[in-house]
Structure 1
Amino acid sequence: MDALNAIINKGNDFLWGFLLIFLLCGTGIYYTFRLKFIQLRRFGEGFKLVFGHFSLNGEKHDTGEMSPFQAIATAIAAQVGTGNLAGAATAIVSGGPGAIFWMWVSAFFGMATIYGEAVLAQTYKEEKDGQVTGGPVYYIKAAFKGTLGKAMAVAFAVFITLALGFMGNMVQSNSIGAAFKEVFAVMHVNVPSVAIGIFVAAIGAFIFFGGTKRLAAVLEKVVPIMAGVYIVGALVFIVMHISALPGAISSIFIGAFNPQAVVGAAAGITIRQAIRFGVARGLFSNEAGMGSTPHAHARAKAECPDAQGLCAMVSVFIDTFVVLNLTVFVILTSGILGTIDPTTGEAFTGIRLTQQAFVSGFGNFGHFFVAFCLFFFAFSTVLGWHFFGAVNVQYLFGKGAVKLYSAIVVVCIIIGTTLKVNLVWDMSDFFNALMVIPNVLALLALFNVVKDTKKRSK
């Protein structure tokens, strides 16, 4: 296991230390300037489109399509997960508070990137077996004709199935297991993590095998409620520690360019690490440029591709600049950062750091609050990521293979609760990076399609 971890870490150092930062941020910057800062100019329009379609009981479609709000709820379900509670914590520990600044930068430019992803998903969606479907595999083939396009589409389909369907869902269940283990410890009840995994897997299986209609019906109800509960709780905590907020904000900006001034020279955190963990965890959270959420946007019965692109921008804003930021400021205002975890002998990290931060303000209720929120955040992400993987499994092997894929995901959820947190996150980072490459190259190749779509919609 240690040998595997070493190999994965070397791959991540190369991919996230240079290649992915260049590709992701470069693509976001390119789209931002070529589309004339669309994430600023037309954000209000996108906001109205998203919440103008708000409903807890959306319209049902026979061809597997979703209402625009259902599609956004599915996208946000995938985006708002452990990345917002556990990922923010690991970014701060590994890259210092300055990593959050680079999260913000990547998310800002990522809003333009995800606009392009949603537009292309709508433009190149198809109907197969009586169901509307779409995603990067379809626009990758359009971007690169012939054998190259087919090979890149297949590579993407394999990578996303591994990255999200299998490894990613292990991350989600791992964090759920860790959070509830903490709760049970407070209650002095010994419940094995694998039992929690079995419980999560059982509920997931019920929805997995119910198809797109059941998925959309669940997520359009769960997403608004779970986000609302967490936002209220986090805001209460921050108000309780409002005097520490200026210092928290200052540490983010200072740490972005001089990490050692915040964490101390002994921590050994460099600007490169702050950028690396900020961008990596930011991507895991908002998924802009990763090629995951286009599967949901393709299913939307949208007014036009441009309209769905504007909605997609809002989903990144909600994920990073609202939900993730709340976790960041809870941790940084709590004063808990750097505290030693007695069970490991090392500083708190991941979901345990977030939990301990809330406990510092809410007492033992903090354990329950984080576990409750994380369950719904992570579980909704499991549902979204299973769906994204299923689209690609169907593309690779046909509709009949989806049930086998779903069964494997169920097993991965159970296994994920038993693994070490660092290994799970590292493997997820690695496969996330691999799926980004063909997706981003297609986005660059098809920029003129996105630009022309925007012109036609005006």
Structure 2
Amino acid sequence: MENFLSHVENINNAVNGFVWGLPMLILLVGTGILMTCLTRFFQISHFKHWIKNTIGGIFKDSHVTAHTGKEDTQISQFQSLCTALAATIGTGNIAGVAAAIASGGPGAIFWMWIVAFFGMMTNFSENVLGIYYRRRNEKNEWCGGAMYYLHDGLGAKNGCKHIGAGLAALFSIFCVIASFGIGNMGQINSIAVNMNSAFGVPSIVTGIFLMFLAGLVIVGGLKRIASVTEKLVPFMAVIYMICAIIVCLVHINQVGPVFTSIIKGAFGMRAVGGGIVGSGVAMAVQWGMKRGVFSNEAGLGSSVMVHSSSNVREPVVQGMWGIFEVFADTIVVCTITAFAVLSSGLVDLETGVVISDQVSTALVAEAFSTVFGQFGYAFIAIAILLFAFSTTLGWSQYGSKAFEYLFGRKNIKFYQILFVLFIVVGATMDLTLAWDLSDTFNGMMAIPNLIGVISLSGTVMKITHNYVQRNLLHQDVKPMLSALDDIQELHEQELLEKALKKKSSEKTA
């Protein structure tokens, strides 16, 4: 058995080295650069517009679809964002940032920003395609994601029918496997370890408690998951941000040196850990990119499955929520975490060496303890509990949608029950190999997804240009809302009715 596990580990290390290696990271960032250029730097050129139509318009419903008279299975744009953020704002924002600094020096944070900047448009493109190619299942639920735009988008191109179908199936298989590992057992294990070290709670107790809690939410389906995450995610993110900002304010005199250290470390003006400058830059780039992608998941195609369940009719509107998701996750939360760690005296800002002997989440906890004392450790343990648990809820939905694509809607309950049971396994086992395997499958999701995004990049460009023509330049052109004729006609009718209603109300006024 030991020989078998050793072989599995060696094979996984080789695959993981490629999946999360420099060529793959270049492909991820390269896709973001391509989509940024094709959409004419949409994240900058239309910054005011996407801010206004995302976080600035939470209480508006100007782009939502009409109810169909059947059971309401849609979720709001804000709920879809919160469910997606629940899966992305997690241990990557705490442990991931700490790991990037420890392994790549302060300069890794700069490259994390670069990945996020271009990742905004990768996520935008995924969500645009997710809405454009989505369909309804027999329960009137929206179903979308990489598997659908691979099957129906790439598959519709000449000679690509079997390629599209094969890549769609591969993406779904990788997603289901990753959901049990990085989306379930890995997160639950982080919670159990933290709760045991901070409060002495036995891992089995944590596992059983979370299993029942998750069961109540997950078996209730997307509507229940969304209603929980829309309350949990803003609450946990705001509380965490307030405490992290307080840490930064207490060490405000270090902000200048921290920023200088990040920039110098990014370009090798100073060696990481006193090593060779070139090596220092390579480590900063690789760890910044790797942890940036791990944190916001742009390019993996995961969050599209939830975004596609939104009650939006315009693909570009949901795409803008994708931009905001990456912005909030990496540019805001990861940056504040990084500044809290770097300003707390735990890292030598001259050499980039971590002075503290703590690693991962404990490094962030120590940074918080410089201001809050012993409460800092307890707070990070609770933050990990909330972040990691919400990540598990989000990933349960990703896995459900991938499982549904493979085996049909009727069999989802089997997946959900199995997913909930694995929570106890995650809390009580040593998951080093399981974590490594799921990390590999998580990365493997990106390969078919990025093939889909690149092959359909022209479609994203046309949909985006069409949206800009209609909504920003006010030109009278036919809208591009869905690849399916019946959904396209329905949405066109809704837009027409909305325009007539607006004219009528203006006349009355």
Establish whether residue 30 from structure 1 lines up as the match of residue 39 from structure 2: no
Which residue pairs with 2:104 in the alignment? Answer: 95
Please tell me the residue identity of whatever aligns with 2:131.
Q
Please tell me the residue identity of whatever aligns with 1:264.
G
Which residue pairs with 1:359 in the alignment? Answer: 369
Establish whether residue 46 from structure 1 lines up as the match of residue 50 from structure 2: yes
- Looking at structure 2, the residues matched to 269 and 205 of structure 1 have their Cα atoms a distance apart, in angstroms, of 47
Alignment of 1:22-421 (within 5 A): 22-54=26-58, 62-129=71-138, 130-141=140-151, 142-144=153-155, 145-184=160-199, 190-258=200-268, 261-265=271-275, 270-337=280-347, 338-339=354-355, 347-419=357-429
The farther-off stretch of 295-304 and 408-417 is 408-417
TM-score (norm: length of structure 1): 0.91
Q: What secondary structure does 1:334 align onto?
A: coil
The farther-off stretch of 289-298 and 266-275 is 266-275
Please say which structure displays the higher CA radius of gyration: 2
Q: CA RMSD of the aligned region, Å?
A: 2.5
- Looking at structure 2, the residues matched to 302 and 30 of structure 1 have their Cα atoms a distance apart, in angstroms, of 26
Which residue pairs with 2:13 in the alignment? Answer: 9
- Looking at structure 2, the residues matched to 59 and 222 of structure 1 have their Cα atoms a distance apart, in angstroms, of 26
2:455 corresponds, among 420, 439, 445, to 445
Query: Taking structure 1 as reference, are residues 398 and 25 closer, same or farther at Cα in structure 2, changes over 3 Å only?
Result: same
| CA displacement at 1:117 relative to structure 2 | 0.6
- Looking at structure 2, the residues matched to 182 and 109 of structure 1 have their Cα atoms a distance apart, in angstroms, of 38
Structure 1: which 5+ runs fail to align?
Answer: 185-189, 341-346
Checking the alignment, whether the CA contact within 8 Å between 1:166 and 1:409 is kept in structure 2 is no
Which residue pairs with 1:187 in the alignment? Answer: none
Cα deviation digits, residues 245-300 of structure 1 (max 9, x gap): 22222222222232862422299964333222222211121111110111111111
Cα deviation digits, residues 414-452 of structure 1 (max 9, x gap): 333345576555334311221000000100111111111
- Looking at structure 1, the residues matched to 367 and 197 of structure 2 have their Cα atoms a distance apart, in angstroms, of 13
Query: Taking structure 1 as reference, are residues 194 and 95 closer, same or farther at Cα in structure 2, changes over 3 Å only?
Result: farther
* Higher relative contact order structure (alpha carbons within 8 Å, sequence separation ≥ 6): 1
Q: What secondary structure does 1:300 align onto?
A: coil
Cα deviation digits, residues 96-118 of structure 1 (max 9, x gap): 22222211111100001111111
Cα deviation digits, residues 52-101 of structure 1 (max 9, x gap): 4436xx99973422111111111111111111111111122222222222
* Percent of pairs with identical residues: 39
- Looking at structure 1, the residues matched to 262 and 309 of structure 2 have their Cα atoms a distance apart, in angstroms, of 38
- Looking at structure 1, the residues matched to 262 and 179 of structure 2 have their Cα atoms a distance apart, in angstroms, of 30
TM-score (norm: length of structure 2): 0.82
| CA displacement at 1:35 relative to structure 2 | 1.0
Query: Taking structure 1 as reference, are residues 2 and 415 closer, same or farther at Cα in structure 2, changes over 3 Å only?
Result: farther
Q: What secondary structure does 2:367 align onto?
A: helix
The farther-off stretch of 224-233 and 194-203 is 194-203
Query: Taking structure 1 as reference, are residues 380 and 445 closer, same or farther at Cα in structure 2, changes over 3 Å only?
Result: same
Checking the alignment, whether the CA contact within 8 Å between 2:268 and 2:277 is kept in structure 1 is no
Structure 2: which 5+ runs fail to align?
Answer: 348-353, 469-509
- Looking at structure 2, the residues matched to 267 and 206 of structure 1 have their Cα atoms a distance apart, in angstroms, of 52
Cα deviation digits, residues 99-151 of structure 1 (max 9, x gap): 22211111100001111111001000101112211111000112134221111
Please tell me the residue identity of whatever aligns with 2:28.
L
| CA displacement at 1:191 relative to structure 2 | 2.4
The farther-off stretch of 284-293 and 58-67 is 58-67
- Looking at structure 2, the residues matched to 81 and 259 of structure 1 have their Cα atoms a distance apart, in angstroms, of 32
Checking the alignment, whether the CA contact within 8 Å between 1:118 and 1:294 is kept in structure 2 is yes
Please tell me the residue identity of whatever aligns with 1:16.
W
The farther-off stretch of 163-172 and 75-84 is 163-172
The farther-off stretch of 10-19 and 87-96 is 10-19
| CA displacement at 1:192 relative to structure 2 | 2.0
Q: What secondary structure does 1:36 align onto?
A: coil
Q: What secondary structure does 1:417 align onto?
A: helix
| CA displacement at 1:231 relative to structure 2 | 0.9
Checking the alignment, whether the CA contact within 8 Å between 1:50 and 1:72 is kept in structure 2 is no
Query: Taking structure 1 as reference, are residues 388 and 60 closer, same or farther at Cα in structure 2, changes over 3 Å only?
Result: farther
| CA displacement at 1:171 relative to structure 2 | 2.2
Cα deviation digits, residues 314-344 of structure 1 (max 9, x gap): 111000011111111111112234356xxxx
